[in-house]
């Protein structure tokens, strides 16, 4: 089972959003993470504001071209006017969602056996501290975002600093 957690912090509202799926429904790459983000944005029905997203520095999930395309898509569809995707400094990567995951892990340890996804989801809901978590089963909500670059007219290009970083000097 995979769980992509979002911890929403905004004026007057704070709390965890859990997006879960099983291994037969998807893996744990950028397409699955992007699908969970799309489901969250579309369900929250927030439009026109600024989004500040914090995530870990996993290049396979968060720091890549398809994620940039996803943010561009959300701006083009007027979900947001501006998006800032930020990454904590290495070694200082404790995010609000980490606390949510810690509560879930502690609650799961208190159970002798967890046999089904439904059991696990019940534990997740009950482990949330004071806040009312929103849990989304992602099974039928998975999207293939690989067509976003072409749809948006975006192309991945290496910048000069990337080329220079991989060049060799001869003596």
Number of helices (H) and strands (E) in the chain: give both, helices first: 6, 5
118-134 per-position pLDDT tens digit: 998 888 888 876 667 88
> Quick check: is 10 in a domain?
yes
74-131 per-position pLDDT tens digit: 999 889 999 998 887 777 667 777 788 888 888 888 988 888 889 988 888 888 766 6
Give the 3-state secondary structure of residue 75. helix
pTM score of the predicted model: 0.77
> Quick check: is 81 in a domain?
yes
Full domain range(s) for residue 64: 2-165
Residues 6+ apart with CB under 8 A from 155: 149
> Quick check: is 171 in a domain?
no
> Quick check: is 170 in a domain?
no
For residue 68, give the nearest of 28, 37, 27, 25 by alpha carbon.
37
């Amino acid at each position: 089972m995979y769980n992509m957690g979002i911890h929403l912090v905004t004026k007057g509202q704070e709390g965890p959003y859990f997006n879960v799926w099983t291994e037969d429904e998807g893996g744990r790459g950028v397409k699955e993470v992007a699908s969970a983000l799309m489901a969250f944005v579309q369900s929250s029905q927030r439009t026109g504001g600024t989004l500040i997203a914090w995530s870990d520095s996993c290049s396979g999930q968060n720091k890549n071209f398809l994620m940039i395309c996803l943010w561009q898509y959300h701006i083009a569809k007027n979900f947001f006017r501006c998006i800032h995707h930020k990454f904590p400094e290495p070694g200082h990567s404790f995010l609000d969602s980490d606390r949510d995951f810690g509560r879930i892990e502690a609650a799961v340890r208190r159970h002798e056996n967890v046999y089904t996804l439904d059991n696990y989801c019940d534990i997740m809901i009950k482990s949330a501290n004071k806040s009312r978590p929103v849990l989304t089963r992602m099974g039928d909500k998975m999207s293939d975002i690989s067509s976003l670059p072409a749809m948006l007219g975006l192309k991945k290009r290496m910048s000069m600093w990337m080329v220079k970083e991989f060049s060799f000097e001869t003596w």
